[in-house]
Structure 1
């Protein structure tokens, strides 16, 4: 593990202190349809970018934890892949992991898109939570209120009806602007049980730095490419070496077809250069230092269908 990783994980000089009397702690699962703003919400809550965000749906793959510690409580947010009908083995793994998270947290925040009325996807997740989340406190989070039309009563009513059918409290907020997040935070803390610090107070995620680097690279691919590419990409961080004033990162972008490799590289390597430059800037913010990033592109046919390839690239059903 590098020096940067020790600092990022909070394992350097930090020790887990004794929690004060009345302190609360617990795990908060974020579930919902793809693209409702779960990753944006977690980044906003912990105050640092640890999850990628993209206009492309279904971008969250691994179950990522973000940690918010206040004087009153420690909340460990578990960001899950958007629940959807899977079309390949990767999709099956992602949905399985989201379902497992429903049963393994203390509070479940069911995030919905408040700019549109509740749809069949929301009702499917409602039924799933009712079946698998018995005994878990559920809160409905009405996100994107900054994008609501002026006449939003019908939209609000569709979600209030859904929540009231189960006695779930509902809170409105905007993960993008931060509006209403103080009320959300207060509600979450009130529903946690008294408990200890699970992680050092200065920690913001339990994921290693290499994982976040790979996600930042994948985010730029999602932002700069379209067509068939976004969901066919996986990133492997091959090497991270530290010199006096520079961190060298070598990474491989795995795609499924030669045509996708051509799109990622672009004419004369222009697209790969654009992706690399933008990702390097994000990684420099992450480690607070200068970065040299070198990217390679490799074709791995049908990696999303292969259990072995999925495991090699870090995708597996959570315990």
Structure 2
């Protein structure tokens, strides 16, 4: 699709959830629950049968997922803005972030067409912001979900996801039993607030995930000799400073390490605002802080380090400046 034919970006950024726990049982009836999908967030604008897709960072990504341009029949003549998640499904029909990594960095051409045919992605829709030019941002979440179901945005590579009024503990348990990442709890009366990380939405994961900024690396040893052994990562504090959050040495595939070696841009001084432990800084190689990744980890230590972090992959859909602590230390 030619860039001049794309719809305008629908909103500055999607509404975001805070990391936390399930609402108390006494408040459960005032919340809706959705499964949390392990993919990349995207806003979709459909106008006159044409699709535009934007990542959470505001980057236009329509060309990366050409299979999604085959719209469901209900959207063929619609004018709508939808919120959802692009996912790659494994053989059991579960989202697999590792499979999606092969698609996130491709921008067009023969490679994208080949991957789209061999391992197509699916767009999981869970909110609607406008429909037939009617703005719905101020409508409560439960009303928007009802309007989404009426729209029938399902078919081809599109799926309208289920949601549940109340019963958060059961939905959370079901997500674990089905190998999913967790749930997102949303207040039934919450409006849609673009670009805001709001407590009216809570993401409750089985494993803690954290976006990180890569600020350096340590040389590998043994099988990794001559390349990257571990990454030195950080997050922004309340004052906007990039502070050191730990080093990540597990979770990498050989392909991921080769890719990272080609993307790291050397610098002479550490990009972190705080002191780096001496044993880490001794052999560290510093890098410009322009790569964002995601790690899984156990907990925060008292000195602000992640315990047992494991690399999950790069996140080109996230801006460096948006990387903050998602879980309270």
- Fold-level similarity (TM above 0.5): no
Q: TM-score, normalised by structure 1?
A: 0.29
Which structure has more helix as a fraction of its residues? 1
- Greater share of strand: 2
Q: Under a length normalisation based on structure 2, what TM-score does the superposition of the two structures give?
A: 0.28
